[in-house]
A and B are shown apart, each in its own frame.
Chain A
Amino acid sequence: MIRLLSTEIQGFKAIGHGVVEMPCKLSHFKEPGVDIAGIYGQNGSGKTCVIEVMRLLRTLWTGARVDDEKMGNFVRTGDERMEVKAELQYWDGVNDYTLFYEVVMKRVEKEGEEGRTRNGVTIEKESLRVKEEGKKYARKETLVACDVSNGFKSDTSVQDARVRKKLKEYFHDELDLKLSSCAQNVVSYIFCTKLREALQQVDEEKAKFVRALHQYAMGKLIIVGRSEAGLIACNFAQPLNIYLPGKGSGQLPLPLSGSGVIPVFAYGFAQAAIDSINLLLPVLIRDCTLSLRHLGEEINRENEKCVRCQLMARHGAFEGPLAYESEGIKRLISILHLLIGVYNHEGVTVAVDELDSGIYEYLLGEILQTLKQGAKGQLIFTAHNLRPLEMLDAYSVLFTTNNPEERFTRFASSRVKTTTNMRNMYMRVIQLGGEKLDVETSIHSSEIARGFRKAAQYDAK
């Protein structure tokens, strides 16, 4: 089982430097079940960056291709490199380990369309280290570390000499070629299929950790960004994020406006997820249930068996297409199965951007209260609605600061007493300062009113 302990970000969009620590790192696992981290702050202060970084880590660990154009533009203006470090806890059933993953990406100019140049990234350094916990004098041991800042030389690019020798033997002296092909495609050196397979052959003991992290990213680390809210808003598709333990996880875009065709296996997954959602949904939205209406079978262009289906919503006795339901309901449906996963399964990490969008304040608060009391998995979210501040503990809430070099902070637990209303405390601190947090706002209603007037005067000219 793997749990995320912390993420350290450097040179990424609005974040000069920032550390997002999960509560489980602070409490050292004494209190499982409160592993929720909510990130709060002003617009443009770097909340979404955290989710983007999580997505980047997931992409790297799954061995998939990084969207290097996007990442190239995400490297902070003025910086050349961005750096992400992640610390994870790994329990293999016998021993407890801490994994340290580190990646450095450099912005480079790449060839774009029609001979124009565009921003891109290359992975300059990547390493995975491990430390066995509970052992006296345990040291960080390097599993695999690649450094290609000096080019792809077989004798320096993989740092551990013993591993390097074995890998070179395995690849018949073509290790540097393999690494440069990874760099070309912007794929992780450690987690690309070829290196993972090679490592499995040459060093079973080390491969165990790489495999575990890969599996965690494939099935248990789930990221929900804002792009899917766009799908819902244009009635284009209903993304259904699912986590079915033992079977897999992922996002199924289901047809929203009218009927649509999805492969038979996807239909099976969607049906299973909807059945479990239906047990919870009527509690959250009065008498509301979902159904995926089977409208016949078809064969698609790839000669796959498909199902034509339509998503329906039922309110009591009335049933109609889900497309005509409110955006909030659709949004809630899209993430509900993940929240069920977080509540019930250890080792699941879900990161949701703007958890509060479209969700009724009271409902949001009650959901978080429930998760706080009994969730086994991990939840990272960003939000603007401050109701969760009244529900969560001080160590579960992070605030973005005004200082880009130290982007994230939290209230000291000792300052938030049992009777303290953290929402009021935050409101007071952003206006008056104090509490050792640099979160003061520069927003004043008088200035806004003045701005409104000035703008109109300018328009009239």
Chain B
Amino acid sequence: MKTRKKGVILIVEGVNEQVALGGILQRLADELNLRISVVNGDVTADYGSDPSTIRRKLGDLVKKEMQRSSFRKEDVACVLQLMDTDGAFVQVRRLLRGRWKARRAKDAAGIRREVFNTQKKTSTQKVEKKLRREIRTKHGI
């Protein structure tokens, strides 16, 4: 008889990550006698999150998943969180100001949020190319 598996709670930011990674990671985890429970929880993008609430929010996510799967504390081998940084660690001096002004406006879905307005009507690639060139010249890279 095989021994009882351990559960791994994997927190990802959205359904795309879940679809892309969940199945494949489970196949790898099978060899290690683990079962992966994937949870969607983009806690960092939540406007209600701040350093004082983030621990509780993550804790709640884990607790809820444990309840849903009827896992006990000793069943959980670890909790993994997969997140992208969304540019949070870009150095301030590398940020461009002025050219891409953020403003509050309705987006395509009609939701009011911060949108970036490109002043010139150029394609994204062109703008990026231009930006890179500007950064290089400014910092002498």
Contact = CB atoms under 8 A, between A and B. Distances in A.
A299 interface: no
Given A424-B70, A428-B75, A432-B75, A449 B19 contact: yes
Interface residues of B, number: 22
A445 to B, nearest CB: 7
A433 interface: yes
Interface string B1-30: 111111100000001001101110010000
B3 A434 contact: yes
Contacts, number: 57
B35 A436 contact: no
Interface in A407-461: 424-425, 427-428, 431-436, 444-447, 449-450, 453
A427 B70 contact: yes
Contacts of B1: 436
Interface in A136-186: none
A434 B22 contact: no
A424 B68 CA distance: 10
Contacts of A453: 19
Contacts of A425: 70
B19 A432 contact: no
Given A427-B70, A432-B35, A447 B4 contact: no
Contacts of B116: none
Interface in A339-382: none
A141 to B, nearest CB: 40
Given A445-B38, A446-B26, A446-B38, A431 B21 contact: no
Given A428-B71, A432-B75, A445-B38, A450 B22 contact: yes
A444 B38 CA distance: 9
B69 interface: yes
B129 interface: no
A92 B5 CA distance: 51
Contact of B2 (A428, A433, A444): A433
A449 B5 contact: no
B82 to A, nearest CB: 13
Interface of B: 1-7, 15, 18-19, 21-23, 26, 35-36, 38, 69-72, 75
8 contacts: A427-B69, A431-B71, A433-B4, A434-B5, A435-B4, A444-B26, A445-B22, A450-B23
Given A431-B69, A432-B6, 19 more contacts: A424-B70, A425-B70, A427-B70, A428-B69, A431-B7, A432-B5, A432-B7, A432-B35, A432-B75, A433-B2, A434-B4, A444-B36, A445-B18, A445-B38, A446-B18, A446-B21, A446-B38, A447-B22, A449-B15
